[in-house]
Structure 1
Amino acid sequence: MTNFLTRQDIAHRTAAAVDAAVGAGRDLGLTVTEARVLHEVFSVVVHLAPAPVVARIPVVLPESAGLDALAHRQRAELDVTRWLADKGVPVLSPSPLVPRNPVRRNGFSMTFWQFVAEDRGREPDYAANAESTATLHAALRDYPGPLSFLSSAEPEFIAEGLALLGDRPDLLAPADLDRARREWRVLEPLVRSRAAFEQAFPGIDLQPIHGDSPPANIFAGVDGDRYADFELVTLGPVEWDLAALGPDLETAYNRGAQREGLRPLDEDVLKFVNAVGMLRAIAFLALAPRLPAIVDYVTPTLEPWRGTPFAGGLTLGNPVGRPHSSG
């Protein structure tokens, strides 16, 4: 493989993001003397100690995603989490010590959050988290703010990634790329158009959803669990939040849905979101030159994918065997 960032390159990128966050925090009146990186993959997350504030700075973005588009997404996240916090839903909340807006500095766009101490000794209970996701969905149903349809699927990024991978057979074999592109031609219209989705899946309600696998994004605080990382909050079917998690967690979600008075997961929509989610994962390989670790996450999923029905079994005009009907 060639053209990959080295560990030193990534360290320099992280240091630049930390410097930008420290400078922005100080400009906003925070006392910052002991900045400490808490996490870094697609974003650098840094505690601006001793201030009880955490900055999150995205550092690995698609080529097509400019800072204006990122800031738009960040504003939606800030608005949704503030609204949920005001309703008493346990979330990682925007910091009240700074204005609730994205801040741009040194080529980065960042957001600021309340610092919450993490219980690092507790293993995640994904079944409990999946069941709890139904509680989050019940709370989100009343969110009044505007959200785009299935923006969390990032169709521009999928299209861009599959195009770029044409020049990277070291990252994705040509046969796999050919299948991925053919699947995308089937799935893309239903991702880009709410009307097309609703025609394909009549009777499936849409609502505000987390957008990024909430069972894997529940923060274990020392004072209790909190829903976290709403960067991809969107309008969509609840199934999107359970994509690729498997039947055990789907069953756990359905227990929570029954308790909350919500519908159970739809098997046809699950096949659709699983297929789209896999193409999104494959597209992430195009980011490998800037995030080499992504190869180790995505490559093991390719062999199981090869054994799945093409595009989740979806064919134009008759999604995954769903009979045509008016309701």
Structure 2
Amino acid sequence: MTDPRVEASLALLRRIAAAAGLSAEGAQPIRLGENDLWWLPKRVVVRIARAGQEAAAAREVEVTRWLAEHQVPAVRPLPIEQPVQVGGRCATLWEELPPHRAGTGPELAKLLKDLHQLPPPARDLGLRPLDPFVRLEARISAASALTDDERRWLLKHLATLEEQWAALPPGMDACVLHGDAWYGNVAVTETGTAYLLDFERTSIGPPEWDLTATAVDHETLDALSQDQYRKFCTAYGHDVMTWPGYPTLRGIRELRKVTFAFQLASERPATLEQARHRLACIQGQRGPRPWTWPPAA
């Protein structure tokens, strides 16, 4: 039986491809989620954004074109007018990367260092100041899997972190951030060239935000050994965990992971136990870090 979700996305893809002067014949789905990713035979990847994401899609195109001007290896948009808008949805079209693997800590660190050291953009890329709390209050309020007590605690914890964020101590100079800096957003080809992917959350803010993602993988989740984390810091030239503001950024990233787990648990009750375990950890009920947090999905 044909999946209605796939059929609906494919029908939209055909209209998008036609508007871009391409054919959708032979298209294959890569991943259908918040964004639908499709592969076209002419080495093109089409990303269909969820409704209302026109500004974010346009920003991704502008950012990656700016990175190309500065020779930072990243995915490249097709040289056409983008985003393409069809049926109330927008899409961006990208050059397919050669065969690749996920990046390592040092490979991610090198790309982040190159990105963070770029001069401020000379033109408007549509970038906004980093909002590390985006959608958190809405997630907490909407998560039906939360009890009233859990919701109250999370909202109070969110308010505390917002106060701490507003009073962060001095750190490195603000710059263009990737925003979602983890190994899955680095692709390394067979020739050894590493590329940055996925610029949906790119913004302007403290570079420590990008570095904290890997520090949390090490300190909170024990997903990186001490040696792996040391190699990441060496490649970048800085250890964010030595900065007095790091605990605040760590707390925000941990809260994002907890609220995502409860958002998922509201849709898939089988994941509720993992969500409650994460909450108990940040409440101090499961001992010191690191904690065991399997994927929430």
Give TM class, smaller chain. 0.7 to 0.9
Q: 1:71 aligns with which of 54, 63, 73?
A: 54
Structure 1 residues 36, 129: closer, same or farther in 2, change over 3 A? Answer: same
Kindly state the Cα deviation for residue 85 of structure 1 after the two structures are TM-superposed.
Answer: 1.6
Give the letter for the 1:257 counterpart.
Y
> Structure 1 residues 27-36 or 171-180, which shifts more?
171-180
Structure 1 residues 178, 274: closer, same or farther in 2, change over 3 A? Answer: same
- Counterpart position of 1:305: 282
Give the letter for the 2:98 counterpart.
A
- Counterpart position of 1:232: 201
- Counterpart position of 2:153: 179
Give the letter for the 2:54 counterpart.
A
Whether the 8 Å CA contact 1:126–1:216 is kept in 2: the answer is: no
C-alpha distance in structure 2 between counterparts of 1:52 and 1:274, whole Å: 39
- For normalisation by structure 1, the TM-score amounts to 0.71
Kindly state the Cα deviation for residue 293 of structure 1 after the two structures are TM-superposed.
Answer: 10
C-alpha distance in structure 2 between counterparts of 1:305 and 1:253, whole Å: 25
Q: 1:283 aligns with which of 259, 262, 287?
A: 259
Kindly state the Cα deviation for residue 182 of structure 1 after the two structures are TM-superposed.
Answer: 0.7
C-alpha distance in structure 2 between counterparts of 1:297 and 1:256, whole Å: 37
SS in 2 for 1:200: coil
Structure 1 residues 18, 241: closer, same or farther in 2, change over 3 A? Answer: farther
Kindly state the Cα deviation for residue 189 of structure 1 after the two structures are TM-superposed.
Answer: 4.9
SS in 1 for 2:37: strand
> RMSD value over aligned CA atoms?
3.2
Whether the 8 Å CA contact 1:140–1:209 is kept in 2: the answer is: no
Which whole-Å deviations, capped at 9, do the CAs of 1:200-219 have from their partners, x for residues lacking one?
32244211110012433102
- Counterpart position of 2:246: 270
Q: 2:90 aligns with which of 106, 109, 128?
A: 109
C-alpha distance in structure 1 between counterparts of 2:160 and 2:77, whole Å: 39
Kindly state the Cα deviation for residue 108 of structure 1 after the two structures are TM-superposed.
Answer: 2.5
Q: 2:121 aligns with which of 123, 134, 143?
A: 143
Structure 1 residues 274, 37: closer, same or farther in 2, change over 3 A? Answer: same
Percent identity at matched positions? 21
Which whole-Å deviations, capped at 9, do the CAs of 1:170-224 have from their partners, x for residues lacking one?
x334443332111111223566xxxx3xx43224421111001243310233453
Kindly state the Cα deviation for residue 32 of structure 1 after the two structures are TM-superposed.
Answer: 2.3
- Counterpart position of 2:23: 31
Whether the 8 Å CA contact 1:93–1:113 is kept in 2: the answer is: yes
C-alpha distance in structure 1 between counterparts of 2:239 and 2:271, whole Å: 34
Q: 1:19 aligns with which of 11, 16, 22?
A: 11
C-alpha distance in structure 1 between counterparts of 2:269 and 2:29, whole Å: 18
C-alpha distance in structure 2 between counterparts of 1:103 and 1:296, whole Å: 39
Unpaired runs of at least 5, structure 2: 220-225, 290-297
SS in 2 for 1:245: helix
SS in 1 for 2:136: helix
Q: Residues 1-327 of structure 1 correspond to what in structure 2 (within 5 A)?
A: 11-49=3-41, 51-59=42-50, 67=52, 70-96=53-79, 98-99=80-81, 101-119=82-100, 122=101, 124-144=102-122, 145=124, 147-151=127-131, 153-155=132-134, 157-165=135-143, 168=144, 171-189=145-163, 196=166, 199-223=167-191, 224-242=193-211, 243=213, 244-247=216-219, 248=226, 250-258=229-237, 264-265=239-240, 266-285=242-261, 287-288=263-264, 292=268, 295=271, 299=275, 301-307=278-284
- For normalisation by structure 2, the TM-score amounts to 0.77
SS in 1 for 2:217: coil
SS in 2 for 1:246: helix
C-alpha distance in structure 2 between counterparts of 1:134 and 1:250, whole Å: 15
Whether the 8 Å CA contact 1:209–1:236 is kept in 2: the answer is: yes
Structure 1 residues 108, 88: closer, same or farther in 2, change over 3 A? Answer: same
C-alpha distance in structure 2 between counterparts of 1:105 and 1:24, whole Å: 6
Kindly state the Cα deviation for residue 160 of structure 1 after the two structures are TM-superposed.
Answer: 1.0
C-alpha distance in structure 1 between counterparts of 2:209 and 2:278, whole Å: 18
Give the letter for the 2:162 counterpart.
E
Which structure's relative contact order is higher, taking Cα pairs within 8 Å and 6+ residues apart?
A: 1
Whether the 8 Å CA contact 1:149–1:236 is kept in 2: the answer is: yes
Give the letter for the 1:110 counterpart.
A
Give the letter for the 2:256 counterpart.
R
